[in-house]
Amino acid sequence: MPLPLDQVIASGQVWQGRTNADCQPEHSVLDTGFRRLNEALPGHGWQSGQVCEIYAHSGHGEVSLVLPALARLSQQPRWILWVGSPHSEGAKLLPQAAALQQAGVDIRRVLLVHPKDEQQAMWSLEEGLKSGHCSAVLGWPGQLNKPHIRRLQLACSRHQSYCWLWPRIPFDPSGSPAAVRLGIERRSPTELSVECYKRRGLWPGQPFTLTLPDTASGKTALPVHSLQTQ
Amino acid sequence: MTARWMYLLFPQLYLQQVISHQPDPEPLARQPVALILQHQQRHIWQCNRAAQAAGVEQDMPLNTAMSLCPALRLLPMDMQQQQQILHARAHWAGQFSAFVSPDPPHGLWLEIASMLRLFQGPDALLHQIQQAAADEGWPLQPGIGQTPLMARIRAHLNQPFVSDNRDLPLLTLAQLQQGLPLTPPQVYQLQRLGIQRLQDIQRLPLSGLASRLGVPFSQTIRRLLGMESHPLEAFHSEEMFQQQVNFIHEVEYSNGLLFPLQRLLKRLSEFLQRRQLSTRLLELQLSHRQQPDTDWQIRFAHSEHQHSQLVFMLRHFLENRRLSAPVQSLVLRVTQFTRRSRGQTNLLAPASGSYAGEDSTQETGQLLNRLSARLQPQQLLRLHTEPDPRPEQASRLMPHQEKSENIGTGALHPHTGPRPVWLLPEPRPCPRPQQIIAGPERICSGWWDEQSIRRDYYVCQQDGQILWLFRSPRGWFIHGVFA
Amino acid sequence: MAVPLPPGLVYPRGLRLMTSNGNEPGSIPYAELHCVSNFSFLRGASHPHELIQQAVALGYQALAITDECSLAGVVRAWQALQDLQQETENNPQLSEQLHHFRLIIGSEFYCDHHRFVVLVTDKAAYSELCRLISQTRRSADKGHYHFDRQQLFQLQHCLLLWQPQQAFYHHTEAQDFTADLLRHFKDRIWLLTERMLDADDSWRFVTASHFAQQWQIPLTCAGQVHMHIAERQTLQDCLTAIRHNQSIEHCRPYLFTNNERHLRSWHKLQHIYPPELLQSTVAIARRCEFKLDEICYQYPTDTLPDGQDAARYLRQLTEAGCRKRFPQGASAEILATIDKELQLIREKEYEHYFLTIYDIVRFARSQQILCQGRGSAANSVVCYCLGITNVNPAEVSLLFERFISAERREPPDIDVDFESQRREEVIQYIYQKYGRDRAALAATVVSYRPKSALRDVAQALGLDLLALEPVLANFGYRYKKETWLDDLVEQRVARGEKLQQLQYLVGEILRFPRHLSQHVGGFVIARDKLTDLVPIENAAMAGRTVIQWDKEDLETLGLMKVDILSLGMLSAIRRCLQQLNMTLADIPRDDPATYAMLQKADSVGVFQVESRAQMNMLPRLRPENYYDLVVQVSIVRPGPIHGDMVHPYLKRRNKEEEPDYPMEALKPILKRTLGIPLFQEQVIAFAMVAADFTAAEADLLRRSMASWRKKGHMQKLQQRLQDNMLKNGFSLAYIQRLQRQLLGFGEYGFPESHAASFALLVYASAWLKCHHPAVFCAAILNSQPMGFYSPAQLINDARAHGVETLPVSVESSQWQHTAQTGTEKPWLRLGLRLIHGLSEDSAQRILAARQQAAFQDINDCRLRARLSQRDSNRLASANAFGALSDNRYQARWAVSEPLQADLLSQALTDSQWQNDSLSALNTPDETANMLEDYQSLGLTLGRHPMAILREQGKLGNSLRAVDLQQQPHNDEGFVCGLVTCRQRPGTAAGVTFVTLEDESGSVNLVVWLTTAEKQLKTLTQARILQAYGRIEKDSASGITHVIAYRLLDRSQLLSDLHPYSHNYH
């Protein structure tokens, strides 16, 4: 005799369009540090076990977006694996320990990998997630293919880890298995405009703006009138 | 006189050993060298012959020694190392006697009564020991006597073997002071009582001596003359794991070694498990028919004991190694161990992946090992901060292998301005910025290590990007990006 | 036209000279209000004079020297300003502008959230600041201060620049503290902003501006200056490292991130601060009118009986003294001098100065403390009459101008020597009479010397200190030539860039002040509160307080200082006179026997003339009267020796050459020294007459002679001296000799009046030695440590003069050495104090027990005198039990048995069993006894060790000291003896004088530099030395030397013998 509908819903096997609050409850949610962003993301924050792609030119506040989350994650006794980095006119940019420390990240937890090619980069990302010893994995992949992302997603969900990717290739509208895909553009030194291309469990929303803390953009050093030292 | 004890005195044990380990020992041995103690820097502790020729003596004030011999080189004395050297000599002396007792700082007692028949008499044994020491290049002053203290005196007086002891009562106070453990106040008191030779002491009532010079003094005299036994503490060396495998037909390719090695690693893992130890260094010794043995050292980032991990490491290690010649036999040796704290496995750990507790670094170590097995050392990096005013020195990337203790957060300089997330490896020249948001932060320092900088840092906006530029006498440069 | 920078300012080599881009002084509208000199120890990186010169060069209106809770550097800054004005005399327009440049006095204070800069507007404000600094310094121990915000509210006149740190703005009680400050200070407070262009620089600037607007506090700016030019940053970082006692690497968090804390050019200031802030600094500077010379010093008037007029009271005392000094009436000339002096004293109002000194000397005499004034004071007849000095004007030409001169503002400077043992009583008397806040010791500035500089800088640069040891040990060592820094540091210490940094920094840090310490005895006494004139802080010694200025500062400002110094010989002479119940005046003058003794160089123990060099001079100078002694005391000194005035004087003294005078006008000055300038006064008089120097210039010459290295004005003065004297027809050679003499006088300048005071003591001690050798020897021994010779040598010398010496004994010795004279054979009984390590109260217990009843045996003595085990052992080994035991070994064995006072042991110790073990001990032979004597007493009364060794044939054919007289000149042979003295006077070119003592006397060994360097170890380490050399006899003086060719170390003949040797000082 078929089960009554409400019993089936109670057991959570039916996905309902509007109730996005309680999917996969056992996955932990991390406050992003920005109120507007929390509202926009499913589960009010970054979801563990999900890959998130962020599309932006370097220098548009794309890393400051995740710094508050990284600061909290660095309290866990696990690594934050940082694979590769963006390029600026051919030169590989290096993370500056002082900036991370100023943002509250415990840099003893950060482990950096300089892959010599894309294939090694992907292996490192996977190795980090599969080992279960990384609280978060960050990558700047030069090329993305769906099976890779799916494998990252799976490894990520098994060990309650977070994964952020900043692809160095333009946004591919044909879709990707990643759970969340965001686009970032800087309006002013402290204003960012964020667009959710995809977020699992919700329709893609309108672009919204959020303000960065001053330190993220070097704002505190106020201008000194017409200063030209000799 | 039945020779029952031998005393081996290694004059200037530490100095001679330290000099011989230097890259070019010859010139240093001829140069005047002196040792001074860490905590007591104002006096010479020991000096070599070249220094003594220039007039430097033990316990001489440093200034006087320096003025007498300006070319004197000073080396700090390390007591720990001295003890290790003495233990190594005790280890070496183990081949001549079953019972060896170290007498710090530079002597050894050997019980030889039981060995006489094996070595056909004290002379032959003496000769053999002197020969062995000469081969090693160690200066040695042996001494044989009925009691340990008598042997010690003979050694210090450089009279290795004297058949009868008729000369003993005539030993002067100075000679006794060399051989026996006498304290300066005891010697001073003896001098004030007009005692010049051992016979003077023997004539006095021992009870009177004990009340005036202390019981230890009379005990020393009785032990010297054999009226009382002299208990000595035996020396025993530490543990070591060593297994050998001989191949019926030689092995040409390194992978061929993998199968036999797996069995050895199994035994090693059991050995480590029983003693709650783990290790970071495996030594492989491959012997070939003509060529000399090849020695491989497999070093891990983290100490390891589980069989599966050891095999994983070994496989990766062997993958990119070539055999120089067919291998006849293989020895696996492990000497360095680290004690493993008995981390209780947390039964209640959440199902998926264990939150490795802070203390059980072994678990997080596995990822490091796996990554470092595949990647080159300079590809796996850690972040490090220092309280230096200059940005390049304040934030540094250090290869993980350079596991220096202070990797991590040396606090930043208190007056550090806002720093961008990304830095360019090298500052890149750029045109004069149009729109300055903030600055200047003037940094002018670093003269002490020849990398002095003189820069005014500004935060500028250029088509959406927030950049970190600086102006120096040589013009404008871009150094970082606020991401 | 840019101000020419004075020669004294030396720029480190290879650095961009900070051009002063053409501003005249005071041309730019800016005043630097916050600047620390290097008297904020290990923080400021520039001398006060450098800061002043640079501020003037940059065209500032004013510069405030605001060291941390200290005014230690302000006088030097003020002096630098005076020197600058003096140098620009020839350019009236410039010197007038310089006159506008203002030195502002101030101080900075730190506490948790604040930095305060206090500036002085007028005299009242200055006294306020001095009191505040004294209060904060004296409530903390040396080198620290305890400052609390509430103390600010004591300041009624000073201006306050207030810089709250960031944390203050959102502090809870910020509101009411700000309100209190504004209510109290009203228009005397500014909010201070300082742009250092470091990280949160502009944020601080913005918040400060808002705060100022919110509370309507006027805003001003300053540079927090630590260095006069930016290039001093390397030194400032090095000082920071030294302050934290770490290498620069390790103390990077404390380093300034840039070098903005220097005196900035107008061009830079304009870009950093808005115009109205710069203008505010000038407004503030204009309100600070106080000048240091406004300090008017009044002498204490306590010693004046009330109602008396100072001048009349002084004349009264002088006349009374004159009657006492000249019982048969003073000569007319002396009376005239007295009147002249009193007239000058009246004119300069120095009466109270003399009365204060008189009071101190009167107190000392009332307590039978022997004392004697010396120094420039000895030139005054009034001082002689008041009993302050004992130099009879009739015998010595007194230049009163040298003491007080009409034009000079120079205050008188009197040094008074007191007995070393009782000087503390005089000091406590002064503190008690005038009170802690009216009397304090002057400071001495301890600055970096080469060795300390090298060690501190090397540590700061993180160099290997072990490698530095050889450099330090050999620096300036007697056998190495005294070269300066460049070839001092070999490659081993540092290489390349590090070596250059080391040399540059050590060169820079030399003569930087390190800390304030206490002058030996320089007292400053004020009429009312001293703390109104200068801040006072605690000295390191408990119970002592120190002012923040040193001797030179006091001289610059004309404050009164009196030196209370200590002299061992005075104690010895007082002990002799007490035993002979005589007074210093009872000693007959010009006793021929005494002079005969001195002419034979038999001067062991005599004041000032007992050193080897003096002994060599005595037979050549052959003093016959008091004035010869004055010359003898001052002739063996670098001044006369460098100016090679000694030989010409001796030739004229021995009538081999007729005295001639280079100029007729110099005759009266040089008459006493036969035409040769020997004393400092003579050289000054010479400059005034021969080189047409004015009195002021001559005084500048005298002052710069004393400290010529410091300011380096000497070159300019010497040039003018040379030109003028050439003009007056002096030969260049003669002028150069005079200039070398000036250099020689540098720090050891010996004024005639000084030598005259000392000569009195020389004669007194010589007379006592000649007529009462036993009492004299006992007195010297009881005043140890003093003088040149060890107790052993003093006793040997006494025995050579027929004094019978009796050994130390518990039955007849006192604690002190005792002597008996008058009997046919004078004897000297050695006191218990000679036994090494015996405490005085044990000795007193022995004496007390002995008084009750004589000692039967050793144990009786031990029990009744309650002797400790250690004291009994020492007495036994020193053979002090004498008759109570057979020999010292048995005594030692008996006493080293732990003493049980109960009855049972009493019986045991007397038993037969005890005695037979005694027979087992050896009996000491002569050598053993001699060695035990040296071990416990440092000397022996038995035969001399050399006599014993010679008898045993161990000395080969070595000649005895007495045999040398018979040996022909230039003969060669062996000599051997105990090494008792090694000396290498700076003046002798590398020669070492060694004295070898044997049973017959002493051998003077001369070792040339080459011989010394080849046999360094033997020369420096040997205790018994045998030498083979050539005998050289100087017929004129009758002295015999042995020029050593080969040295042999014979110490192992008596390996346990360690006689005392007086080495290298």
Residue of chain B nearest A80, judged by CA positions: B382
CB-CB: which of B381, B442, B483 is closest to A58?
Answer: B483
pLDDT tens profile C35-68: 999 999 999 999 999 999 999 989 899 999 999 9
Q: What pLDDT is attached to residue B440?
A: 87
> How many C-beta neighbours within 10 Å does residue B19 have?
17
Interface of A with B in 5-34 (CB under 8 A): none
B476, B453 contact by CB (below 8 A): no
Q: Which amino acid is at C824?
A: E
Interface of A with B in 90-119 (CB under 8 A): 91-102, 106-108, 110-116
Interface of A with B in 165-224 (CB under 8 A): 185-186, 189, 214-224
**A to C CB pairs, distance under 8 Å:** 20
Q: Which residue has the tokens 């840039």?
A: C258
Q: What CATH code is assigned to B5-154?
A: 3.40.1170.60
Q: DSSP of C334-366, one letter per residue?
A: HHHHHHHHHHHHHHHT-HHHHHHHHHHHHHHHH
CA atoms within a 13 Å half-sphere pointing along the CA-CB vector of C402: 24
- Cα–Cα distances in Å, from C392 out to C330, C361, C398? 11, 18, 9
C267 contacts A230? CB cut-off 8 A: yes
Please report whether residue A145 resides in a domain. yes
CA atoms within a 13 Å half-sphere pointing along the CA-CB vector of C17: 10
Can you point out the beta strands (E) in C376-486?
413-419, 439-447
Helix (H, G, I), strand (E, B) or coil at C193: strand
Q: What pLDDT is attached to residue C901?
A: 53
Lowest mean per-residue pLDDT among A12-26, B16-30, C143-157: A12-26
What distance in Å separates the CA atoms of residue A195 and residue A62, rounded to the nearest whole number? 12
Domain C31-142+159-169+189-294 bears CATH identifier 3.20.20.140: yes
pLDDT tens profile C169-187: 777 788 888 899 999 998 9
B165, B147 contact by CB (below 8 A): no
Residue of chain B nearest C924, judged by CA positions: B194
Helix (H, G, I), strand (E, B) or coil at C722: helix
More confident residue, A217 or C552: C552
Please report whether residue A180 resides in a domain. yes
CATH class of the domain whose range is B241-339: alpha beta
CA–CA min distance C1051, chain B (Å): 15
C556, C75 contact by CB (below 8 A): yes
* Residue C966 DSSP class: T
**Which of C667, C676, C680, C674 shows the shortest CA–CA distance to C752?**
C680
Q: Which residue has the tokens 């079953």?
A: B98
Lowest mean per-residue pLDDT among A153-157, B68-72, C17-21: C17-21
* Mean pLDDT to the nearest integer, B124-150: 88
Residue of chain A nearest B456, judged by CA positions: A229
Residue C1063, pLDDT > 50, answer yes
Mutate to test the interface with B, among C16, C469, C905 (most CBs of B within 10 A): C469
Q: Where do the domains of chain C lie?
A: 31-142+159-169+189-294, 310-438+563-567, 449-510, 591-637+750-771, 641-745, 789-937, 945-1063
- Per-position b or e across C52-90, b if 16+ CB within 10 A of its CB: bbbbbbbbbbbbbbbbbbbbbbbbbbbbbbebbeebbee
β pairing state of C1001-1007 and C827-829: unpaired
Q: Subunits that touch chain C (at least 3 Cβ pairs < 8 angstroms)?
A: A, B
Residues of A in contact with B381 (CB under 8 A): 111-114
Please report whether residue A195 resides in a domain. yes
**Which of C319, A58, C124, C799 shows the shortest CA–CA distance to B468?**
A58
Q: What CATH code is assigned to C945-1063?
A: 2.40.50.140
B211 contacts C897? CB cut-off 8 A: yes
ipTM over cut 0.95: no
Can you point out the beta strands (E) in C387-469?
413-419, 439-447
A229 contacts C203? CB cut-off 8 A: no
Which residues lie across from C979 on neighbouring strands? C996
pLDDT averaged over every residue in chain C: 82
For chain B, the distance separating the N- and C-terminal CA atoms, rounded to the nearest angstrom, is 89
What distance in Å separates the CA atoms of residue C178 and residue A151, rounded to the nearest whole number? 64
B66 contacts C470? CB cut-off 8 A: yes
C492, C472 contact by CB (below 8 A): no
Mutate to test the interface with C, among A222, A226, A228 (most CBs of C within 10 A): A222
Residues of B in contact with A107 (CB under 8 A): 383-385, 408-409
Interface of B with C in 107-146 (CB under 8 A): none
Q: DSSP of B170-231, one letter per residue?
A: G-BHHHHHHHS---HHHHHHHHHTT--BHHHHHHS-HHHHHHHH-HHHHHHHHHHTTSS---
CA–CA min distance C258, chain A (Å): 14
Which residues lie across from C1039 on neighbouring strands? C1034
How much of chain A is helix, strand and coil, in % rounded to 5? 25, 25, 50
Residue C77, pLDDT > 60, answer yes
- Phi, psi for C786 (deg, rounded to 5): -160, 170
Interface of A with C in 188-227 (CB under 8 A): 220-224, 227
What distance in Å separates the CA atoms of residue C33 and residue C269, rounded to the nearest whole number? 14
What distance in Å separates the CA atoms of residue C104 and residue C129, rounded to the nearest whole number? 13
Residue C477, pLDDT > 60, answer no
What distance in Å separates the CA atoms of residue C832 and residue C849, rounded to the nearest whole number? 15
Please report whether residue A228 resides in a domain. no
More confident residue, C732 or B475: B475
**Which of A143, A166, A141 shows the shortest CA–CA distance to A57?**
A166
Interface of C with B in 867-926 (CB under 8 A): 873, 876-877, 888-889, 892-893, 896-898, 917, 920-924
What distance in Å separates the CA atoms of residue B422 and residue A99, rounded to the nearest whole number? 8
CA–CA min distance B371, chain A (Å): 7
Helix (H, G, I), strand (E, B) or coil at C281: helix
β pairing state of C1001-1007 and C1039-1049: parallel
Asked if the C-beta of C237 comes within 8 angstroms of chain B's C-beta atoms, the answer is: yes
Q: What pLDDT is attached to residue A227?
A: 34
- 3-class SS string, C201-213: HHHHHHHHHHHHH
**Gyration radius of chain C over CA positions:** 34
Residue of chain A nearest B386, judged by CA positions: A98
For chain A, the distance separating the N- and C-terminal CA atoms, rounded to the nearest angstrom, is 89
pLDDT tens profile A6-53: 777 666 666 655 544 444 445 678 888 888 888 888 888 888 888 899
Q: Work out the pLDDT band at A157, boundaries 50, 70, 90.
A: confident
A228 contacts C271? CB cut-off 8 A: yes
For chain C, the distance separating the N- and C-terminal CA atoms, rounded to the nearest angstrom, is 53
CATH class of the domain whose range is C789-937: mainly alpha
Asked if the C-beta of B377 comes within 8 angstroms of chain C's C-beta atoms, the answer is: no
Q: Work out the pLDDT band at C8, boundaries 50, 70, 90.
A: very low
B154, B145 contact by CB (below 8 A): yes
- Cα–Cα distances in Å, from B337 out to B82, B220, B244? 21, 41, 19
How many structural domains is chain A composed of?
A: 1
pLDDT tens profile A165-204: 998 888 888 878 888 888 888 888 788 888 888 887 778 7
What distance in Å separates the CA atoms of residue A199 and residue A52, rounded to the nearest whole number? 9
**Is it true that the peptide bond before C1059 is cis, omega within 30 degrees of 0?**
no
pLDDT tens profile C617-626: 888 888 998 8
- Cα–Cα distances in Å, from C953 out to B6, B10, C372, C946, C1053? 43, 40, 53, 10, 11
Interface of C with B in 466-495 (CB under 8 A): 466-467, 469-470, 472-474, 477, 479
B229, B219 contact by CB (below 8 A): no
What distance in Å separates the CA atoms of residue B349 and residue B351, rounded to the nearest whole number? 6
CA–CA min distance B423, chain A (Å): 5
Q: The domain spanning residue A199 has which CATH number?
A: 3.40.50.300
Residues of B in contact with C199 (CB under 8 A): 415-418, 441
pLDDT averaged over every residue in chain B: 82
Q: DSSP of B327-358, one letter per residue?
A: EEEEEEEE---EE---PPP-TT--SSS----S
What distance in Å separates the CA atoms of residue C649 and residue C639, rounded to the nearest whole number? 14
What distance in Å separates the CA atoms of residue C604 and residue C117, rounded to the nearest whole number? 60
A101 contacts B437? CB cut-off 8 A: no
Q: What pLDDT is attached to residue C45?
A: 95
Asked if the C-beta of A228 comes within 8 angstroms of chain C's C-beta atoms, the answer is: yes
Percent of chain B with pLDDT over 90: 7
CA–CA min distance B200, chain C (Å): 8
**Which of C1063, C776, C1049, C1061 shows the shortest CA–CA distance to C938?**
C1061
Can you point out the beta strands (E) in C552-591?
561-567
> How many C-beta neighbours within 10 Å does residue C529 have?
15
C203 contacts A220? CB cut-off 8 A: yes
Q: What pLDDT is attached to residue C125?
A: 95
Pair of tokens at residue C129: 């600041």
A81, B417 contact by CB (below 8 A): no
* Mean pLDDT to the nearest integer, C234-258: 92
Asked if the C-beta of A96 comes within 8 angstroms of chain C's C-beta atoms, the answer is: no
pLDDT tens profile C397-436: 655 555 566 566 666 777 888 988 888 899 889 989 988 8
Residue A220, pLDDT > 60, answer no
Residue C670, pLDDT > 90, answer no
* Mean pLDDT to the nearest integer, C97-120: 90
pLDDT tens profile C984-1037: 776 566 788 898 988 888 888 998 888 888 888 888 888 899 999 999 887 666
